[in-house]
Structure 1
Amino acid sequence: MKLPIHPIMEQSFAVIDREIGEHKFTSGEYAIVQRVIHTTADFEFAQLIKFSPGVIETAIAALQNKTPIITDVGMVRQGIANLVAQTFNNPIIVAVEEAPVALPGKTRTETGLLSCWRKFPEAIFVFGNAPTALLAFCEVLKNTSVKPAFAIGAPVGFISVVESKHALAKTSIPQIRVDGRKGGSPVAAAILNALIVLSC
């Protein structure tokens, strides 16, 4: 199944191609970088996005197998829901919505993430907003042999953001992450949407 592309997006991709010029990305990696730049108009993402070996092939298989997708916040779900529904219709669960009340000393998103992990440890995990949830996720991974399908680590901000991405980088799970302070729900959604397009 080939998903249609809007003419304005096609024109935007052509502009991005011209401005980036020669690069060392694989075709799959470039499709992701291109879509993130299209979403943000920020070419610095070409230096910030990092891919673990084989993650794109792993991600494609997980999406095609209808693996559940756990997002940290509702904005990420909003950004991916349309393409997910058009393609593999994976279940989407929002971590923060799984926790009406936070556990002591934790945020609601962190609390919800831990609940989602217990229910769906082999899911796809997408972080676009909450570094506390990403840190909790990485901590859980230290004490289990069960591995998630893959993770997208792209929280944005100043507090614990860089640390959460460093923690993810130290894990062995397949991952795409945005190093540094930049990221956000639109970026996380763009990465997953690009993977969905590659899966079709």
Structure 2
Amino acid sequence: MNRVVHPIEQESYRRLRARLDTSHFPPLTRAVVERVVHSAADLEYASDLVMDEGELVAAHAALHAGAPVVTDVEMVAAGITRRETVCRLGEAKSGPGLTRSAHAVRLAYEEVGPGALWVIGCAPTALEELLALDVSPALVVGLPVGFVGAAESKAALRESGLPAVSNVSEKGGSAVAAAALNALLYHPVPPASEEIL
């Protein structure tokens, strides 16, 4: 089923492209950049985001083949449309040296195992916990927000070598993390003859 784009969204993207040239980005990178910029009305994300087109191609294929999507908080899950997600924050408990968000990541990994797409938009500790596990993800959208630990956890994600979408600054949040995943959801699946192998 094709997604119907509302006229307001169409006009918003027209204005975005009038102010920001995204034509030099490869297709999936462009889709992620534009959707994140659109979600935050923040043009700086175009130079703040870090991702690799080849990793996005592989993640896009995994997503459309049915790989699980895991979120750190319900706010991120609420922003992801057209797809069920796993979020275990409601059952998680905090303890010495372990936040609820970090525990939720552990619980989710026990449920989904390797090959999932992880979308972290709130808690740096959730991203830190994810990096401590051997998750073998299809992709980590690591866009937690905050002045304590956010930039550092995203730097650690980039250094980990895992396929990822992150950004350099402290900014981020549930809306932009969900937007990055939605960009991959909304992007059309190429015909088999056009797939990158």
Query: Structure 2 length as normaliser, TM-score?
Result: 0.89
Aligned partner of 2:151 among 150, 156, 162: 162
* Cα gap change, 1:28 to 1:160, in 2 (>3 Å): same
1:53-76 Cα shifts (integer Å, max 9, x gaps)? 512211211111211111000000
Decide whether the 8 Å contact of 1:98 with 1:116 is kept in 2: no
Task: Name 1:51's counterpart in structure 2.
Answer: 51
Taking the TM superposition and a 5 Å limit, the aligned residue runs for 1:13-28 are: 13-21=13-21, 23-28=23-28
Decide whether the 8 Å contact of 1:64 with 1:199 is kept in 2: no
Task: Name 2:192's counterpart in structure 1.
Answer: none
1:105-142 Cα shifts (integer Å, max 9, x gaps)? 2110101101212332321110000000101111224x
* Cα gap change, 1:22 to 1:33, in 2 (>3 Å): closer
Q: Does 1:187 align with 2:176?
A: yes
Task: Name 1:129's counterpart in structure 2.
Answer: 122
Distance 2:9 2:44 in 1: 19
Distance 2:136 2:48 in 1: 25
Which runs of 5 or more structure 2 residues have no equivalent in the other structure? 190-197
Aligned residue for 1:126, secondary structure, equals strand
Structural RMSD (CA):
1.6
Taking the TM superposition and a 5 Å limit, the aligned residue runs for 1:40-189 are: 40-80=40-80, 82-84=81-83, 91-99=84-92, 101-122=93-114, 123-141=116-134, 147-189=136-178
Distance 1:47 1:23 in 2: 14
CA-CA distance at 1:23 after TM superposition? 4.8
CA-CA distance at 1:5 after TM superposition? 0.8
Decide whether the 8 Å contact of 1:134 with 1:164 is kept in 2: yes
Distance 1:177 1:195 in 2: 15
Q: Find runs of 4+ consecutive structure 1 residues off by over 3 angstroms.
A: none
Which runs of 5 or more structure 1 residues have no equivalent in the other structure? 85-90
- How many percent identity over aligned positions? 36
CA-CA distance at 1:199 after TM superposition? 4.1
Give the total of aligned pairs. 188
